[in-house]
Amino acid sequence: MKKYNFNAGPSVLPDVVLEAAAKAVIDFNGTGLSVLSISHRTPEFEAVLAEAESLMRELLCIPDNYKIYFVGGGASTQFFHIPANFLGGKAGYVHTGVWTKKAIKEAKYYGEVEVVASSEDKNFSYIPKGFEIPADLDYLYICANNTIYGTEYKCDIDSPVPLIADMSSNILSRPIDVSKYAMIYGGAQKNLAPAGVTFVIIRDDMLEQVKRKLPSMVNVNTHVENGSMFNTPPVFPIYVLSQTLRWLKAEGGVEAIHERNERKAAMLYAEIDRNPLFKGTAAVEDRSSMNICFVMNDGYEALADEFFAMAKERGMVGIKGHRLVGGFRASCYNACPVEAVEALVKCMQDFEKMHA
């Protein structure tokens, strides 16, 4: 049976990338060694690392005054790396869900945290707007896309203080103006690679703003100065990441994939809005293109398990909503094909015929 992978992460990767990774596990670039056991100090892997950085710089149009590095530990390690490096007085956080809650908790170990805006009053169903950003902040922190609640920043905000963004779940899904950010980071397991590597894009002037003496692995300068090689990097995820970036370039780059993502999201949201059995959970203007969240409409709640079973029978994988919000979630990352969304829409339409 054909499977349609809507998992929120680790998530779907392009078939061509999986094929390349499978071959590399047996024989990495003709070396006779597996990519799982190749030394990270070999010229062959150093070329992979250089290509990953070069392609990311090209695809995101990253200015020359930014550095890129890759590090293990997952994006959640950045929740404390960031304040450890940059929070000396006060930092501002826009609270939009679980991931910012966790980041705020970690930041409070290092200094004062001001929640400058929050959408908690409506269960994180929207992105706050029109709030004042205090000029005395060391930085302003946002989560660009919220996987659990299905909300997303649709444009790059202007900030009078250094702006730091967690883009774990929407990096390379739409064009961004990198110059508006002091730092962008994210885990790779949504749009780039299997779990295990975190990317960091950081403006040069931030490297001079480290506020305290830190363990080497926590200091951002360690990873910049050592070119992601201070310790053994996560070799296999970086290899897969480089292959995904190759695929994205071949597909036409970020603008082309953005158009495809918007088409997929529009198709599914249109069905959610049309179908009397379902309703969306996020404010229309803030709906995520990556994580599309919906529930059974009023009066049809008892049908949730039946719909989930039907979708599962038709090959839908990973559409159950997060345990905090329930309902359904279709994660439509870059590698999610249009065919998968069409199959889910058809399932919703057939379910309507059975019950409406």
In order of 36, 60, 355, the CA distances from 243 in angstroms are 15, 16, 45
CA dist 186 and 55 (Å) reads 16
Contact (Cβ atoms closer than 8 angstroms) between residue 347 and residue 268: no
> CA 252, 253, 255: angle at the middle one, nearest 5?
95
The β-bridge relationship of strands 4-5 and 316-317 is parallel
CA dist 13 and 192 (Å) reads 8
CA dist 221 and 12 (Å) reads 33
- Burial group, residue 171, by CB count within 10 angstroms (0-12, 13-18, 19+): buried
Q: How many residues does the chain have?
A: 356
Among all chains, which residue has been given the structure tokens 């300068």?
221
Q: Please provide the DSSP assignment of 32-91 as one string.
A: SS-TTTS-TTSHHHHHHHHHHHHHHHHHTT--TTEEEEEESS-GGGHHHHHHHHH-SSEE
106: phi then psi, degrees, rounded to nearest 5: -70, -40
> Cβ atoms within 10 A of the Cβ of 33, count?
16
Q: Which amino acids are annotated catalytic?
A: 99, 166, 190
- Rg for the chain, CA atoms, rounded: 21
